């Protein structure tokens, strides 16, 4: 094992896949000459050259469309959005072109490409730069949606995403790029669609994904000091969702708390709650509880940012609510 930053794990994944497959290339704003807005692609222009590490204008719709065209003609583009907030400019190409290409062509065309970049709040960036759209993309047949929470998963899942023949939405967090973690030495991939039981427990199941997993880990330390044994599941992929791992855990703990950063209405936690009551109703000893961001545009003030996001305190309160005995 070796310790790397989250951004370094992503870079290793792209470098290894580009060395393995000449059809893979990276395109986006500032990915080349500037070495990446968050230094994820640092050094890649020097190794692969300007034909495979391509700087673009501020024109997400345009370069997303170029990526779709390239993918349907035998290449494997990685399209980097500086933030997924900007992907809204390109959403027609993502949803009406990439996601539907295979179905509408009767299987004659595949669209093997990755749309990647940061998602969610990164501090005081205001309401237009702090949104979570993973549930939007997960609502779209034809897409896969991946949200890793640590460097090892980031590398293994991104390698799988680049090799996948379907378009993959790969969401990261600006606040995690400097996070360090151990990753395996050598070649490895992680299956898309398989959740990770990060920690086993007996009293309550917490399901989460992405950077909010960090708050879940902190909450668990406090809860276990109070005698509550928590089973923690990292979804890693929100389309497809590994429902079976969640259901199996509920059958053991009899309680479920779902934690996510998105707004509450029509969220992934809503979907998971539905599946829990449909397929594990007889095993639940308390109502499913969820912790989400507040149902407002994200304010700018730092105190309001803290009140808006799922916090360690709110996770602890949710778990204790369902853990009465």
Catalytic residues: 60, 129
User: How many residues does the structure list for the chain?
Assistant: 325
Sign of the dihedral through C-alpha 194, 198, 204, 209? negative
Q: Which helix (H) or strand (E) holds 139?
A: none
Taking Cα atoms as reference points, which of 113, 111, 117 lies closest to residue 87? 117
Rounded to whole angstroms, how far apart are CA atoms 111 and 104? 12
* Structure letter (DSSP) for residue 26: E
Residue spans of alpha helices (H) in the chain: 6-20, 44-48, 60-72, 91, 101-104, 134-138, 151-163, 213-225, 243-253, 268-279, 302-308, 312-322
* Structure letter (DSSP) for residue 55: E
The answer to whether 223 and 230 have CB atoms below 8 angstroms apart is yes
Rounded to whole angstroms, how far apart are CA atoms 133 and 298? 14
In a 3-state reduction of DSSP, which class is residue 256?
A: strand
> Which residues fall within 8 angstroms of residue 249, CB to CB, at 6 or more apart?
197, 205, 207, 231, 233, 256
Rounded to whole angstroms, how far apart are CA atoms 167 and 103? 12
Helix, strand, coil percentages, rounded to 5, for the chain = 40, 20, 40
Q: Which residues pair with 114 in a beta bridge?
A: 78, 168
């Amino acid at each position: 094992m070796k310790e790397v930053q989250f951004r370094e794990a992503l870079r290793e994944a792209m470098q290894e896949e580009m060395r393995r497959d000449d059809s893979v290339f990276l395109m986006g704003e500032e990915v080349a000459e500037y070495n990446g807005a968050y230094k994820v692609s640092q050094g890649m222009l020097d190794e692969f050259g300007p034909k495979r590490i391509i700087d673009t204008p501020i024109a997400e719709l345009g370069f997303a469309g170029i990526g779709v065209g390239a993918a349907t003609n035998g290449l494997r583009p990685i399209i980097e959005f500086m933030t997924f907030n900007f992907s809204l400019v390109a959403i027609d190409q993502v949803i009406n072109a990439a996601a539907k290409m295979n179905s509408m062509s009767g299987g004659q065309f595949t669209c093997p490409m990755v749309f990647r970049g940061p998602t969610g709040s990164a501090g005081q960036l205001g309401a237009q730069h702090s949104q979570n759209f993973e549930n939007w993309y997960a609502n779209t047949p034809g897409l896969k949606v991946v949200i890793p929470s640590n460097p090892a998963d980031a590398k293994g899942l991104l390698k799988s995403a680049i090799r996948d023949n379907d378009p993959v939405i790969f969401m990261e967090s600006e606040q995690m790029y400097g996070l360090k973690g151990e990753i395996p030495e050598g070649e490895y991939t992680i299956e898309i669609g398989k959740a990770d039981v990060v920690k086993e427990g007996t009293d309550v199941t917490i399901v989460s994904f992405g950077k909010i997993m960090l708050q879940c880990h902190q909450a668990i330390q406090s809860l276990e000091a109070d005698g509550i044994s928590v089973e923690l599941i990292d979804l890693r992929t929100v389309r497809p969702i590994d429902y079976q791992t969640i259901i199996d855990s509920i059958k053991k703990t009899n309680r479920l708390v779902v934690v996510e950063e998105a707004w509450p209405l029509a969220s992934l936690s809503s979907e998971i709650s539905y599946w829990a009551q449909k397929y594990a109703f007889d095993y639940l000893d308390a109502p499913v509880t969820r912790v989400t961001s507040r149902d407002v545009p994200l304010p700018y003030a730092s105190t309001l940012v803290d009140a808006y996001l799922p916090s360690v305190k709110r996770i602890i309160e949710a778990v204790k609510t369902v853990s009465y005995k």
